[in-house]
């Protein structure tokens, strides 16, 4: 058997160009792509800086997603320079025209004192848990690590926050902050699926933490059992990558918007009324489909309705599953923002009518004269509004 292997290696060495680690580094500096084809446990010990890491078993399946130009110079690397020969041969057969194998592999790379990094990698438990994400080229290990390093602040652990928090925790978002000053009431359970009958009377943030950690113990849950106010918002928001607004009243909506504008944080917005929901991403720092800056909530709705023109409390019912749908859409948009996936709801509002089962999309445009995100505006202090019915 080994003689056949040796014969094959000889044949490959005669055909596949090889480069030393130093030559490889010089080529990388000129734009060549270094592909580390070793197994994850090997890569975890170290890998050349900036290397593309595709395990050999998936090389042919994934290389084109990462390297579109088949005439690019591609350098393959393994531990000792043998598997990289096979890998290089695979790429040549696939149609890549300039593929070279690195002699001596990562062992040689390190021995020559060339730069490498110890990449963050997922452990076996995480690999199993997030397997269905890892299979998707849009997420993969890199995307999963991004989610793990991300921090999302959920405003409200209620109808919208419940499904959103469950999906974000399940997806492996590393840190979830939850702001809610309320306690679980039995009337919440018709839609607030984070909570259970046994937790009636408990603070919602604690109930939420228990549920989310039961689902995914690795997620760090930061609880804020307070009502968001102009006084505490600047202490709570900074440091979060995305804010997911599941609040239930206009004063908080406007405060969240203005604070997100001030701190440059995307505001994933969801709201519901009876059978209808609205979802959008308010983020002047984000791009709309045509590349222009996105609007904020105030660009669209400069001021809230006065209490006498807002829907009354008596009208404020909601079908329990509707916030499930809208909150899930908010989680979806949040994950897309964290991963940098196009195309987000920046500059678009999605309106859902559950009775007619209609999704309508409306274009939203930034207002250059907006009092929150307009040209030359800086937010010095927050505007307070009288609370109308908290629907």
Partner 1 sequence: MTQATIRIPTPLRTFTNGASQLQVEASTVREALQAAGAEHEELLARILDDAGELRTFVNLFVGSKNISQLEGLDTPVAKDDVLSILPAVAGGIR
50 binds partner 1 (CB under 8 A): no
> Which residue, among 293, 234, 247, has the nearest Cα to 266 in the 3D structure?
293
**Subset of residues 278 to 317 that bind partner 1, contact rule: CB under 8 A:** 278, 300-305, 309-311, 315-316
Q: Residues 363, 369, 370, 376: is their CA dihedral positive or negative?
A: positive
Q: Which x/- pattern, by CB under 8 A, does the window 143-182 give for partner 1?
A: -------------xxxxxx------------------x-x
Which residue of 104, 119, 266, 323 would you call a contact of partner 1, by CB under 8 A? 323
Task: Tell me, by CB under 8 A, how many residues bind partner 1.
Answer: 53
Least distance in Å: CB of 46 to partner 1?
47
CA distance 339 to 334: 9
Going from the C-alpha of 69 to that of each of 23, 63, 145, the distances in angstroms are 21, 10, 26
Least distance in Å: CB of 253 to partner 1?
6
361 binds partner 1 (CB under 8 A): yes
**∠ Cα 274 277 278 (to 5°):** 145
Beta strands in the chain (DSSP E): 18-19, 33-36, 47-48, 52-53, 73-77, 98-102, 116-117, 151-155, 175-179, 220-224, 242-245, 267-273, 276-282, 348-353, 358-363
Least distance in Å: CB of 169 to partner 1?
19
Least distance in Å: CB of 79 to partner 1?
53
84 binds partner 1 (CB under 8 A): no
Q: Would you say 158 or 172 has its CB closer to partner 1?
A: 158
Provide DSSP, 37-92: -S-HHHHTT-EETT-EE--GGGHHHHHHHH---TTSEEEEE-SSSSHHHHHHHHHH
> Which residue, among 364, 372, 368, has the nearest Cα to 347 in the 3D structure?
364
Q: Which x/- pattern, by CB under 8 A, does the window 190-209 give for partner 1?
A: -xx-----------x-----
Q: Which x/- pattern, by CB under 8 A, does the window 230-269 give for partner 1?
A: ---------------xxxxxx--x----------------
**Residues found near partner 1 in the complex (CB under 8 A):** 156-161, 180, 182, 188, 191-192, 204, 245-250, 253, 270-276, 278, 300-305, 309-311, 315-316, 318, 323, 349, 351, 355-356, 360-365, 388, 390-391
């Amino acid at each position: 058997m080994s003689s056949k292997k040796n014969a094959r290696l000889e044949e490959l060495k005669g055909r596949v160009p090889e480069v030393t680690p130093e030559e490889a580094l010089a080529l990388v500096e000129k734009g060549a792509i270094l592909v580390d084809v070793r197994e994850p446990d090997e890569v975890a010990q170290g890998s050349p800086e900036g290397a593309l890491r595709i395990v050999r078993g998936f090389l042919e399946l994934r290389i084109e997603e990462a390297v579109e130009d088949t005439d690019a110079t591609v350098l393959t690397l393994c531990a000792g320079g043998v598997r990289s020969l096979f890998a290089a041969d695979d790429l040549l057969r696939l149609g890549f025209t300039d593929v070279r194998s690195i002699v001596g592999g990562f062992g040689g790379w390190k021995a020559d004192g060339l730069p490498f990094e110890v990449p963050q990698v997922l452990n076996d438990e995480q690999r199993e848990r997030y397997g269905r994400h890892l299979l998707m080229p849009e997420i993969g290990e890199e995307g999963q690590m991004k989610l793990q390093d991300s921090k999302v602040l959920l405003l409200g652990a209620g109808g919208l926050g419940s499904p959103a928090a469950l999906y974000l925790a399940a997806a492996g978002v590393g840190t979830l902050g939850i702001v809610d000053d309320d306690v679980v009431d039995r009337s919440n359970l018709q839609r607030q699926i984070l909570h259970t009958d046994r937790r009636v009377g408990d603070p919602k943030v604690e109930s939420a933490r228990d549920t989310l950690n039961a689902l995914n113990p690795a997620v760090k849950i930061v609880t804020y059992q307070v009502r968001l106010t102009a006084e505490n918002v600047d202490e709570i928001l900074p440091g979060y990558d995305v804010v997911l607004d599941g609040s239930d009243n206009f004063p908080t909506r406007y405060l969240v918007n203005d604070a997100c504008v001030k701190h440059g944080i995307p505001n994933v917005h969801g709201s519901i009324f009876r059978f209808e929901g609205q979802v959008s991403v308010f983020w002047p720092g984000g791009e709309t489909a045509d590349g222009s800056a996105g609007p904020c909530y105030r660009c669209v709705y400069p001021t809230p309705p006065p209490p006498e023109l807002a829907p009354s409390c008596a009208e404020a019912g909601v079908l329990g599953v509707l916030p499930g749908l809208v909150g899930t859409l908010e989680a979806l948009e949040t994950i897309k923002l964290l991963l940098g996936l196009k195309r987000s709801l920046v500059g678009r509002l999605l309106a859902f009518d559950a009775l007619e089962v209609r999704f309508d999309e409306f274009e939203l445009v930034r207002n250059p004269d907006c009092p929150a995100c307009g040209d030359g505006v800086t937010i010095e202090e927050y505007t307070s509004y009288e609370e109308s019915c908290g629907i």
